[in-house]
């Protein structure tokens, strides 16, 4: 199990949840997970309040993996919300062969800055391990998902669509103390591929001492058709300490 102790966000809004970065690669059955809590109150010319929580729990039995991810982030200053977002994601993996896995998931989220009052997803599809070397791993996945979305326009816009989700996840372990993970998602609308979303997350983890590591992550998301008056591109740079225990 992994406990995230400190997390410093610089900028960004998450709209695509990167489950790949949260998978615990292990052959051991049972429970594993991560959790983080961030709380701050700053007073200068205005009061700035920030709260964040991120929890990841997974349970593994032979041939199956159950994964639950939840997070909430809230920032407010001078009666104005800078960030107000949350999500919950549940996924089930069933291993068909050593390289081939079938996935199914459901997800709910909101994001006031991106004007997403509610977005609900349900989907399923295959995941394939291209490379499973001890020093490097490569996975490909394809998912068909149904999306229900309420956008905070005037009047409110409601979307009911099918989207594809194509992703690659690449991990490198150059030494026992260094880990590099890069994951990218492409999510087009099935009926109109010019309407698409893209996200990439790249993380560097360096073990400082046994069970204590430094993690730095850069995330970029792009939406070709965002809500009115919402940026199409967001990014996030974060760094923090991770304490690992079993």
The position carrying tokens 């490909």 is: 140
Name which of 144, 134, 191 is nearest 166 in CA terms. Answer: 144
For the stretch 117-137, pLDDT in tens is 999 999 999 999 999 888 899
Q: Which pLDDT score is estimated for 22?
A: 52
Averaged over 206-219, what is the pLDDT?
Answer: 83
3-state secondary structure 28-94: CCEEEEEEEEEEEEEECCCEEEEEEEEEEEEEEECCEEEEEEEEEEEEEECCEEEEEEEEEEEEEEE
Lookup result for tokens 């004007």: 115
Inform me whether the pLDDT recorded for 27 exceeds 80: no
Length of the chain: 246
pLDDT-above-90 percentage for the chain: 46
pLDDT tens for 177-209 read: 999 999 999 999 999 999 999 999 998 989 888
The confidence band for 23, taking pLDDT boundaries of 50, 70 and 90, is low
- Note if the pTM is more than 0.85: no
At 93-118, the pLDDT tens digits run 999 998 999 999 999 999 888 889 99
Structural contact between residues 215 and 227, judged by C-beta atoms closer than 8 angstroms = no
Q: Per the structure block, which two tokens stand in for 34?
A: 């991560």
pLDDT of residue 49: 78
Maximum distance among all alpha carbons in the chain? Answer: 59
Instruction: Give the model's pLDDT for residue 133.
Output: 86
pLDDT for res 229: 85
For the ranges 75-84, 120-129, 140-149, the lowest mean pLDDT is seen at 75-84
Would you state the pLDDT for residue 236? 80
What structural domains does the chain harbor? 2-244 (2.40.160.40)
Whether 203 and 195 have beta carbons less than 8 Å apart is answered as: no
Question: What is the Cα gyration radius of the chain?
Answer: 18
Q: Please tell me the distance from the alpha carbon of residue 173 to that of residue 177, in angstroms, as a whole number.
A: 8
More confident: 50 or 43: 50
- Give pLDDT, residue 104: 96
pLDDT digits (tens, 9 = 90+) for 148-175: 999 988 788 999 999 999 999 999 999 9
């Amino acid at each position: 199990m992994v406990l995230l102790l400190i997390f410093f966000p610089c900028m960004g809004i998450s709209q695509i949840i990167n489950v790949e970065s949260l998978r615990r690669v292990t052959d051991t059955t049972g429970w594993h997970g991560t959790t983080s809590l961030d709380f701050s109150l700053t007073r200068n010319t205005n009061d700035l309040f920030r709260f964040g929580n991120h929890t990841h729990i997974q349970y593994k039995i032979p041939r199956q993996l159950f994964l639950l991810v939840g997070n909430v982030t809230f920032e407010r200053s001078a009666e104005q919300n800078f960030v107000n977002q949350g999500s919950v994601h549940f996924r089930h993996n069933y291993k068909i062969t050593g390289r081939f896995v079938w996935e199914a998931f459901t997800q709910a989220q909101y994001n006031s800055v991106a004007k997403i009052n509610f977005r609900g997803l349900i989907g399923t599809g295959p995941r394939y391990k291209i490379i499973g070397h001890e020093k490097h791993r490569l996975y490909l996945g394809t998912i068909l998902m149904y999306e229900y979305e309420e956008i905070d326009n005037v009047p409110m816009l409601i979307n009911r669509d099918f989207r594809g989700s194509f992703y690659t996840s690449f991990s490198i372990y150059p030494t026992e103390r260094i880990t590099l993970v890069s994951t990218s998602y492409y999510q087009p609308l099935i009926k109109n591929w010019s309407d698409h979303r893209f996200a990439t997350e790249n993380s560097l983890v360096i073990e400082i001492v046994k069970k204590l590591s430094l993690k730095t992550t850069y995330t970029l998301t792009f939406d070709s058709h965002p809500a009115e008056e919402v940026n199409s591109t967001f990014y996030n740079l974060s760094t923090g300490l991770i304490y690992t225990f079993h």
